[in-house]
Amino acid sequence: MSSLARSGLRSAARSATHLRVPARTLTVLASRAARVAPVPARSVPAAVRGMKTLDFAGTPEKVYEREDWPLEKLHDYFKNETFALLGYGSQGHGQGLNLRDNGMNVIVGVRKDGESWRQAIEDGWVPGKNLFSIEEAATKGTILMNLLSDAAQTSTWSHLQQFVTKGKTLYFSHGFSIVYKDQTKVVPPADVDVILCAPKGSGRTVRTLFKEGRGINSSVAVFQDVSGHALEKAVAIGMAVGSGYIYETTFEKEVYSDLYGERGCLMGGIQGMFKAQYDVLRANGHSPSEAFNETCEEALESLYPLIAQNGMDYMYKACSTTARRGALDWAPEFEAACKPVFERLYESVKTGAETRRALEFGSRKTYREDYDKETDAIADQEMWRVGHVVRGLRPNRK
């Protein structure tokens, strides 16, 4: 066991009574996490349901919660609407099944007899009843949920736009196509509401958290409000597709933060940092299992869950004083080293360079095979081959 884990519980117990806790709205997710926290939970003031403005470190922001939109209210609000889900990829799968389970009138539109068509049938969608071609679904739908891939949205818009007729609602889960219209050519007509709900996770997570009775956090935005109720509609759809709580943003800020985040701390940065640390340990004679455990396993299984449940400061206090001292000393070094990279990354997103790269790659006929080659190469790295063995040793896997 590493110095991070030794005496961690004793340290956390001693320090818990000295922690200052800001008032937080307890969502279903947060309250469940508190119940399963592996270290003593802190006292939290009783939450007030239905709050619309919360103080986020001195900045007031509006927050919408599931309790504001019970299922009966959603049924009444959407009683005259037909959700047409265009595309059945990750988000289409998750949001579509959640809408169906919530009792909404939802249909799916995909290319007939393609892979997505077959997947939809396996998930219980019935051809001619709630599974159609994209054109037929777009004709029948009143809320057109464009959940095709970013590249597919670009290539299909010239054909799809004829179905976006007056009075309908055009819905996205990413600001990509609208914000980078110079590249995508996606310009919606002026007589429809254009809204966004962006779950902060993969479509698979949207689905699994919904099935667990929890819910993912999402952002909503309005690009065009013709009806005068576009924001309310976006929030209601966000709840209907399985969100736990929702905050407001803009199309531009959503796509900037999304592209930036997934290339940084969410995915790209994590892979790069994990591999760099692992390689240095191996170069200095550490075994593969030790290098992986000290780089990935302890982070994912022990420390990151503490951050998720209670914050970085709490995770520090749950570790040994030796680990705490080193982390406090080296964090500024990593911040200084990483900040120039993050600044270049944000600029690349803002100028559209990342968009051009994504569209160029996603438009290749061989893009799936090309992506598989690169991700298979990651899977073949020693670090992740070791990880496959380590995960098999976890008691819950037995």
Annotated binding site: 258, 262, 294, 298, 320
Residue 75 is among the residues annotated as catalytic for this protein: no
CA distances from 244 to 83, 93, 125, 324, 360 (A): 20, 18, 25, 33, 35
Sequence-distant (6+) residues with CB within 8 A of 324 are 316, 317
Rg of the chain in Å (alpha carbons): 23
Which regions of 102-230 does DSSP assign to beta strands (E)? Answer: 106-109, 131-132, 143-146, 169-172, 193-199, 216-224
Q: Output the CA–CA distances (angstroms, integers) from residue 59 to 20, 307, 324, in the order listed.
A: 19, 22, 29
Q: Round to whole Å and give the CA distance between 398 and 391.
A: 10
Buried/exposed 262-298: b ≥16 CB within 10 Å, e otherwise = ebbeeeebeeeebbebbeebbeeebebeebbbbbbbb
Q: How far apart are CA 352 and CA 176, in angstroms?
A: 10
For residues 248 and 221, is the Cβ–Cβ distance under 8 A? yes
Q: How far is Cα 181 from Cα 165, in angstroms, rounded to an integer? A: 19
Angle between helix 203-211 and helix 90-101 axes, rounded to 10 deg: 30
Q: Residues comprising the binding site for substrate?
A: 320
DSSP state of 46: P
Strands (E), 161-203: 169-172, 193-199
The residue count of the chain comes to 398
Task: Confirm if 206 and 96 have CB atoms less than 8 A apart.
Answer: no
**197 phi and psi angles, rounded to 5 deg:** -135, 120
**Which entry of 75, 174, 229, 286 is annotated as an active-site residue?**
174
Residue 139 CA: distances (Å) to CA of 82, 85, 127, 143, 169: 10, 12, 16, 10, 12
Count CA atoms within 13 Å of residue 136 on its CB side: 13
Q: Which residues are catalytic?
A: 174
